[in-house]
Amino acid sequence: MKHLGNLTIPKGATKNNKRLGRGTGSGRGGTATRGNKGQRSRRGSHIPAFFEGGQMPLSRRVPKFGFRNPFRIEVQIVNLSRLQELYEQNRFTKEEIIDIDLLYKLGVVNHKNLPVKILGNGDINVPLEIKANAFSSSAIEKIQSVGGKAIING
pLDDT in tens, 10-29: 999 999 998 999 999 988 99
Over residues 69-107, the pLDDT tens digits come to 999 999 999 999 999 999 999 999 989 999 999 999 999
Identify the pLDDT of residue 67.
94
d(CA 127, CA 142): 10
In angstroms, the first-to-last Cα distance of the chain is 70
How do the domains of the chain map onto residue ranges? 76-152
Q: Does residue 133 surpass a pLDDT of 70?
A: yes
Identify the pLDDT of residue 2.
86
Contact (Cβ atoms closer than 8 angstroms) between residue 80 and residue 139: yes
Cβ partners under 8 Å of residue 81, min gap 6 = 121, 122, 123, 124
Q: What is the per-residue DSSP string for 42-74? A: STT----TT--TTSPPHHHHS-------TT---
Domain 76-152 is in which class?
alpha beta
Q: Does residue 154 surpass a pLDDT of 80?
A: no
Q: Does residue 122 surpass a pLDDT of 80?
A: yes
- Average of pLDDT values for 107-113? 95
Helix, coil or strand: residue 32: coil
Q: What is the spatial order of strands in the sheet that 149-152 belongs to?
A: 97-98, 129-132, 149-152
Identify the pLDDT of residue 1.
85
Taking the CA atoms of the chain, what radius of gyration do you get in angstroms? Answer: 33
Identify the pLDDT of residue 45.
85
Whole-number average pLDDT of the chain: 94
